[in-house]
């Protein structure tokens, strides 16, 4: 039989562990974007470094608007665009 004090300590320990696992973000944050670029991710978790000048393109504005509708505005973490990596690579190649 477990003493109530030990049970309480055990429950607190598991709650702390659950909180730590819940806070983890699955996207790598160690690499920072080069100057004049921003980082976006696709739905298949591919990372793209895009020049800031592409924000003037209607395609990127629309993708960012759709991302806001679908995923909301990220307070911290990555911007996820609602497309796969193949489509985003194609869009970037068209703009270049």
pLDDT digits (tens, 9 = 90+) for 51-80: 999 988 998 889 988 888 888 877 677 788
> What is the tally of structural domains in the chain?
1
Tell me the sheet residues that pair with 40. 48, 79
Structural domain span for residue 32: 27-95
Residue 46 lies in a domain: yes
Residue 74 lies in a domain: yes
* CA dihedral (53, 55, 59, 60) positive or negative: positive
Residue 16 lies in a domain: no
Predicted TM-score of the model (pTM): 0.63
Residue 53 lies in a domain: yes
Residue 19 lies in a domain: no
Using an 8 Å Cβ cutoff, are 43 and 81 in contact?
Answer: yes
pLDDT digits (tens, 9 = 90+) for 2-56: 566 666 676 777 677 666 655 544 545 546 777 888 888 998 889 999 999 998 8
Residue 21 lies in a domain: no
């Amino acid at each position: 039989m477990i003493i109530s004090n030990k049970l309480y300590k055990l429950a607190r320990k598991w709650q702390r562990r659950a909180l730590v696992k819940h806070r983890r973000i699955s996207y790598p944050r160690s690499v920072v974007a080069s100057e004049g670029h921003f980082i976006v991710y696709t739905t298949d978790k591919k990372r793209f470094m895009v020049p800031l000048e592409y924000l003037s393109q209607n395609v990127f504005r629309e993708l960012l608007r759709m991302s806001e509708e679908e995923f909301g505005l990220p307070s911290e973490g990555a911007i996820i665009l609602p497309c796969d990596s193949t489509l985003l690579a194609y869009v970037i190649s068209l703009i270049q």
